Structure 1
Amino acid sequence: MDNLILAWITLSCVILPVTGSSSCPSNICECRELEIASRMETEVRCNTGSNRGYVPVFRSFEPFISSLYLSGVELTVLGNGSFRELSGVREMYLYDNYLIRIESQAFSNIDHTIETLDLQHNKLRNLDFLTTHDFPRLRQLLLRDNELVSISPESFVLVPALENLNLDDNHLQGKLNFLQHPSLKGLFHLNLDHNDLENIDPEDFLYLTNLKRLLLSRNQLRSIDFLRHPIFRQLYGFGAAHNLLETVEPSIFADKHLLKWIELSNNLLTNVTFLASCGLRRLEEIYLSANRIKSLPEKSFQATTTLIIVDVSRNELETLPRCALQPFYTQLFMFDISQNPMQCNCQIAWLQDKRRDIHTEKQSQCANLEFLSTDEYEIDDCEALIPCSPTSGCSKYSVGVLENDQQEPYETTEMTSSDASTKTVATYMVTFLVTLCLT
């Protein structure tokens, strides 16, 4: 999705040579004026040329610099007044450097206009600079792949507009009390993937009343019981893949009636009883690959008819519950059952789109047949399917939502694998993945 947006912006811009009173250090930077939505802006890229280890000296620009790239130039320290000659900068990209320290007044003169600050792939160990600047417009703070072990509670006091906070691939552990401040009430997306978190205290999230997407993959979590807290009721996306989860209780999702996708791949789950939770009536995507799941209960998915992606690949499934899946099977964009020891017999013959033989080949997952091209299972020999008994399902009141409930008020532009471009291609995936497993 981000690439599509970037492509659209690129096609919508008119690139002009820098003119007027602009002063571009052309020997080490590339400067160009962009006409975006009938507004002239300047983009400056100083990640080419001979500048290494220092910030170029900028003089006044007219129009103002809107985007400044200083990535991959081996910066280690960002000194005070590094951008004192600039104004109006909205996007600052400092990724792929060796920054170990940012001085207390490094962003003076531009801190009040910055909306995006990208500090990914550096070596920062603290965020003290956030406490000495006023960032009233900062919406996106990207800190992936640094060396943060802890963050002081005062770090986010002066960032009242923050919506997207990415702390992926650091070394955070213990309590997350840096989240305990009213200034973060507008935070929509929090990425805590790939840290050293063993437990989550919901009390740390009490001010995050608008949080929509929470990512906790690649940590050391053994439980996600913290999701029972009402503060997480408004989530529409949750990820905790690559952890140590052995079980997930259905009651955890009892009030998650806005939740659209769940990512729990690469854990130690042996059952998925939580899928029967009546709180999951808007669930669209479920990712459960690489667990130890042996079966899907007949009451799985009883709460939802909106599923479009189901990934249960690389588990221990031998069969699938026809009556649980059939009501929405035809609407799935992706149904991945690959790398399961499936028993090819009449119980799964309903998966075939046409009445034809089930042939086993080397890529087949039919565990009860040898992998020989001559092996086949005649589904014409199968008896007529017994009609499915109607299930009680879930009433609107069982999830605590009245009939006039509203859709979630906000969705970030960072989507999962079901964004518009993926969905167009994914319409062909159901038949392909099932055929790969069973034919």
Structure 2
Amino acid sequence: IGLTQLDLSQNNLGSVPSPALKNLHHLLILNLNHNKISVVHSKAFEGLDTLEILTLYENKITIIEDGAFKGLSKKLRRLNIGGNGLNAVPKAVGHLDNLRKLEMQENSISHISEKDFEGLVKLDSLGLAHNHLRNVPPKAFSHLKELNSLELDGNSITFIDPEAFVGLEVSLQYLRLGDNNIHTIPSDALKRLHRLRHLDLRSNNISSIAEDAFTGFGDSITFLNLQKNNIKSLPIMGFDNLNSLETLNLQNNKLIHIPEEIMEPIVDTLRVVDIMDNPLLCDCELRWYKDWLKNLKDKDDEMMQKKRTVCTMEHEHREYPVQSMPLDRMNCVGKNMERTSASSAPSLIASALIPPLIMFNCL
């Protein structure tokens, strides 16, 4: 058997060394990362008909000619052309009808359209993070019937057309829209995504959540990240449709209150909740969280001490650990919100990479 893997990264190559490659008829993986290639010419990889993985990350590519990947369509399943100077999706990728993963992150792509992905019928993962996209047009991904993961984070997206995700209804499970300029949860576009599990909207300019924000697609979501937005309040019925939610991140927003009735519909499935770095007030609603914390069987005591959960008494301008709220001065009345049975508390998971399971912090 001949050579199956070839690493030519970091060699200051100014072009694809096509003559040296054309007789490598058993090659499966070719790494051309971190070179100085600026143009990928037509038939650059001719003869490499067994190639499965091709990486051209962090070159200086601005042009990929239409026939650049000729001969690779039968076997190529992963292509990385990220970290270059492309300002549009190259037409050449449309011929790769067996491609499963396409990485185009960290380029200068400013627009996408339906025809850009027309031939990628088997694509499972599409990476467009950290480009210059300002909107997601209608039916942009309609040919990608098998797309499972879509990364659009780190762009400048302000608008997502209601028909942007047409064609992804039964396939898309992971959607990353963080670090954009989205002002509201794009519910009209998302509601058709009936199998969506992971939704990341971190670091946008979302200031409010509509009552029906998750209607139509919320029942399949297990992971929801809304950290680093400007959310000031949560709608009473806002989480009612999130029947499968396990992880909720609301860290670093502008939340003052977290009413019990908002969390009640999702409390039985939640495993991780992060509400640190919010200007939370010590109020009677937090008594319920205090008792919930007390009953957690899997809490990490050391981590809880490092990041002590605090809230502020409104008239005292003083911080209290949630566990030490002065309930005797808070005049809490009404229904009993305590969960006294450890067996009824969810078994939450703590991780060194994840902040305390339920965290309260005050700016």
Q: Secondary structure at the match of 2:23?
A: coil
Moved more, 272-281 or 308-317: 272-281
| Structure 1 partner of 2:193 | 256
Paired with 2:112 and 2:26, the residues of 1 have a C-alpha distance of 36
Deviations 1:231-260 (A, max 9, x none): 232321111111111123544333322010
Count of residue pairs brought into register by the alignment: 334
How far off is 1:204 after superposition? 3.4
The answer to whether the 8 A contact 1:245-1:268 is kept is: yes
Matched, 1:366 2:303: no
Question: Contact 1:82 / 1:106 at 8 angstroms: preserved in 2?
Answer: no
Which structure 1 residue ranges, 5 or more long, are not aligned?
Answer: 1-62, 389-422
The code of the aligned residue for 1:377 comes to M
Q: For residue 348 of structure 1, report the CA deviation from its aligned partner.
A: 1.6
Q: CA RMSD, aligned part only?
A: 3.0
Structure 2 counterparts to residues 378-397 of structure 1, below 5 A: 378-379=326-327, 383=332, 386=335
Q: Residue 142 of structure 2 is aligned with which of 199, 203, 206?
A: 206
Residue 312 of structure 2 aligns to a residue in which SS? Answer: coil
Name which of structure 1's ranges 319-328 and 226-235 shifts more when overlaid on structure 2. Answer: 226-235
- Within the candidate set 96, 103, 109, 1:172 is matched to 109
Query: How many angstroms does 1:125 deviate by?
Result: 0.9
**Residue aligning to 2:97:** 160
**Partner of residue 124 from structure 2, selected from 188, 191, 215:** 188
Question: Which runs of at least 4 in structure 1 moved beyond 4 Å after TM superposition?
Answer: 371-376, 427-430
Task: Describe the shift of the 1:370–1:233 C-alpha distance in structure 2 as closer, same or farther (beyond 3 A).
Answer: same
Distance in 2 between residues matched to 1:255 and 1:135, nearest whole Å = 31
Partner Cα distance (2:190, 2:43) in 1: 45
Q: Tell me, yes or no, if the aligned pair for 2:45 and 2:69 is still in contact at 8 Å.
A: no
Given candidates 82, 85, 93, the residue that maps to 1:144 is: 82
Q: Per-residue displacement from partner, 1:338-359 (whole Å, max 9, x unpaired)?
A: 110001111222112229xxx9
Paired residue type of 1:184? L
| Structure 1 residues 253 and 107: CA distance shift in structure 2, 3 A | closer
Distance 1:331 1:164, change over 3 A: same
Which residue of 237, 246, 249 corresponds with 1:299?
A: 237
- 1:377 corresponds to: 325
CA contact 2:272–2:358 (8 Å) conserved in 1: no
Match of 2:215 in 1: 277
Instruction: Give the counterpart letter for 2:294 in structure 1.
Output: K
Query: Deviation at 1:327?
Result: 4.1
Q: Give how far 1:228 is off.
A: 5.8
Rounded to whole Å, the distance in 2 between the matches of 1:117 and 1:330 is: 45
For 2:89, what is the secondary structure of its paired residue? coil
Report the secondary structure of 1:350's partner residue.
helix
Deviation at 1:199, TM superposition (A): 1.9
1: CA distance, partners of 2:288 / 2:267 = 10
Query: Matched residues in 1 for 2:190 and 2:313: separation?
Result: 34
Q: Taking structure 1 as reference, are residues 157 and 315 closer, same or farther at Cα in structure 2, changes over 3 Å only?
A: closer
* Cα shift at 1:216: 1.1
CA contact (8 A) 1:335 1:434 kept: yes
TM-score by length of 2: 0.81
Instruction: State the alpha-carbon separation in 2 of the partners of residues 68 and 117 from structure 1.
Output: 10
How far off its partner does 1:180 sit? 4.3
1:152 offset after TM fit, Å? 4.1
Partner SS state of residue 172, structure 1:
coil
Provide closer, same or farther for how the CA distance between residues 349 and 144 of structure 1 changes in structure 2, counting only shifts above 3 A: same
2:142–2:166 CA contact under 8 A, matched in 1: no
Deviations 1:38-93 (A, max 9, x none): xxxxxxxxxxxxxxxxxxxxxxxxx2222211111221211332213322111111
Distance 1:374 1:167 in 2: 46
Change (3 A) 1:366 1:119: farther
Given that 2:227 and 2:250 are in contact with CA atoms closer than 8 Å, whether structure 1 keeps it comes out as yes
After alignment, is 300-309 or 77-86 more displaced?
77-86
Q: How does 1:35-434 map to 2 (within 5 A)?
A: 63-110=1-48, 112-128=49-65, 129-153=67-91, 155-176=92-113, 179-181=116-118, 183-227=119-163, 229-234=165-170, 235-273=172-210, 274-329=212-267, 331-352=269-290, 353-354=293-294, 364-366=310-312, 368=314, 369-371=316-318, 376-379=324-327, 383=332, 386=335, 426=351, 432-434=356-358
Q: Could you tell me whether the CA contact under 8 Å between 1:188 and 1:210 is conserved in 2?
A: yes
Give me the whole-angstrom Cα distance separating, in 2, the residues matched to 1:429 and 1:180: 36
Write the deviation string for residues 189-226 of structure 1: whole angstroms up to 9, x where unpaired: 11111111112222332311222222111112112234
Structure-1 separation of matches of 2:230 and 2:313: 16
- Rounded to whole Å, the distance in 1 between the matches of 2:166 and 2:17 is 43
SS at match of 2:54: strand
Q: Residue 262 of structure 2 aligns to a residue in which SS? A: helix
Q: Which moved more, 1:250-259 or 1:335-344?
A: 250-259
Supply the distance in 2 between the matched residues of 1:96 and 1:425 (Cα, whole angstroms).
Answer: 38
Distance change >3 Å, CA 79–CA 104, structure 1 → 2: farther
In structure 2, what is the Cα distance between the partners aligned to 1:64 and 1:385?
77
What does residue range 10-49 of structure 1 map to in structure 2 within 5 Å?
none
Query: TM-score, normalized by length of structure 1?
Result: 0.68
Percent of aligned positions with the same letter in both sequences? 22
